Amino acid sequence: MKRTEREKEFSQRVISRRGLLLGSVQLGIAGTLLWRLRDMQLNQAEQFHLLAEENRINLRLLPPVRGLIFDRNGVLLAGNEQNYRVVMKRDDAGDIDLVLSRLAQLIPLTEDDIERARRDMLRNRPFVPVTVAERLNWDEISRIAANAPALPGVTPEMGLSRYYPLYEDTAHVVGYVGPVSERDLEALEAPDPVLMIPRFQIGKSGVERMQEETLRGRAGSQRVEVNAVGRVMRELDRVEGTPGDNVHLTIDAKLQNYALERLHGQSAAAVVMDVETGDILALASGPSFDPNLFVRGISSTDFRGLLDNEFRPLVNKTVQGLYPPGSTFKMVTALAALEAAATDGQETVFCPGHMDIAGHRFHCWRRGGHGRVGMVAALAQSCDVYFYEMSQRCGIDKINEMSTRLGLGIRYDLPITSVSAGLNPTREWKQRNRNADWRIGDTINASIGQGYVLTTPLQLAVMTARLASNKAVLPRLLRDPLERAEREMASLDLRPEWLRLIRRGMVDTVNHQRGTAYSSRVVAEGQMMAGKTGTSQVFSITRAEREAGIRRQEDLPWNRRNHALFVDYAPVDNPRFAVAVVVEHGMGGSSAAAPIGRDITLAALNGGVPPLSAYPAPQRNRIRAEQIELEERLRAPEAMRVSRA
């Protein structure tokens, strides 16, 4: 149908308006694009230039500064030192074998070092820097810098590395750090990204491991521009990390050093606790090892030497070593009998040197017997027969309950690795683990700390502190330096008359002429010591060995001899310190463990090497000769200077 002129004019006007509108929109868009293009080319040119060449911008994590570890007086136990190292990135290096070969001509690199660096680079993403060598000196770093054009992807850096200024003294307590392993990462649900940095170090044992999150801190970040050969041209952005928090321990570094040196030459352990607070002042396990070896990368020879040492220097015997407590357990049996009303502690028991029970003969350590003894004398002279009798009256259930009450058979929550619970055997335990009923002979053996009973030196120190205070003392290793209030300890609710008997027995053990530790008495006024000796059997001398003439402990190989134990607290009138000592295969508690316990107790009371006046006069010449030898090994005073957190 033919349109009229009027319709044509209307249609043209509509088209013109639409065209104008469309043109305006197009012009606006074009103008916006031109303005944006100009802004990007002129005002933001540098930023987009860098983004366009993103391969030249590196984002690096900055390892945080690890927190420090101090003793109770501010002595540094674990610190950080400057460490010159060289790192390498695979994507910048090109031929990594060629670069590593050139690097080996400038600094000492073993085949193992080269192979480890190659393995780390192939395992990680190409742009991740891998530490090739560390602890370099300034001359070595200078040679690398001077030859930088021939070493693409290689960068010298300065960082921090862990070190332990007291070396062996606190190795078992503080522990050590080491590079993150695949096993470490697998144990974490959501690993911190900083752990992905090759050879980043984390706590591997002791406080370093158990307080890892506290000590580690949080990583920072850095954006840098690099040139074609990987050399850093400039830093674009930097966010510093958050340093780890410092940790303060209850350990007294000076006393710890003395205790460890007093154990010198023996496989032994010693624990010192504050009776009132439970603070652990010394946790010495000998022999020890230098934790710095592990930080720097211990050689296979050194590591094999530690593993093959029959004295087991890598084991923390204070909390990990399990030992039959021997006669140091007799206070438990005595209190169990008192609580069960099986005795009033005053009656006497005749000891002929043995007791026949259910067709078996159980001997006393003194073959001729002790005659008639009451509880105090039985403790002082360590009469086995007396406690055989008491155990039959009260039974294993009461003994087990009292043992737990005094702190044995408990795994204490301390920030160190491999803390053992020991073994406080019950009827149910034997049925479950040995598929056998509890027998009267088991109770007899348990009554003198033999049979299935196993304890750690730490548990023995806790038991002694509880006997001295009548409080449920709990051991503590972490200390708040700002804390002033003393810890509140629950009462054990042991009757005063019972404790008087036990304590008199422990006092007479050390101070009565017939006491088993009389030769280790203290004569200094106000420092009298109460204690208990123990000897625990490891192996019996067989009939064949007796027929071959082997009748004494000294005739046996070292690792078949009896363990020697001693526990004590002092001063008697106002107990401050509880001490436990175990000498592996030391043969006799009186001869091997008690003298060590006395010396360590006196060192705690006197703040250092004990004065000769604390010892009986006839012993002083011998003691002085021993002290001269020991003082040569003690840590120099400047190593114990107080550091600032």
Q: Are 106 and 144 in contact (CB under 8 A)?
A: yes
* First-to-last C-alpha distance (Å) of the chain: 100
Q: Are 207 and 247 in contact (CB under 8 A)?
A: yes
**Residues β-bridged to residue 224:** 58, 235
Six-digit token string for 364: 């006393």
Nearest to 439 by CA among 422, 451, 424: 451
> How do beta strands 354-357 and 220-226 pair?
unpaired
Separation of alpha carbons 295 and 42, rounded Å: 52
Q: Which candidate in 267, 285, 327, 447 is catalytic?
A: 327
Q: Which amino acid is at 304?
A: R
Six-digit token string for 13: 């006007």
Those residues whose C-beta lies under 8 Å from the C-beta of residue 596, and which sit 6 or more positions away, are: 262, 263, 268, 270, 566, 581, 583
Those residues whose C-beta lies under 8 Å from the C-beta of residue 287, and which sit 6 or more positions away, are: 168, 263, 267, 309, 311, 313
Strand order in the sheet with 232-239: 57-62, 220-226, 232-239
For the chain, helix, strand, coil in percent to 5 are 45, 20, 35
Instruction: Give 107's DSSP letter.
Output: S
Is 590 noted as a catalytic residue in this protein?
Answer: no
SS3 string of 125-188?
A: CCCCCEEEEEEECHHHHHHHHHCHHHCCCEEEEEEEEEECCCHHHHHHHHCCEEECCHHHHHCC
3-state secondary structure of 237: strand
- Which residues are designated catalytic? 327
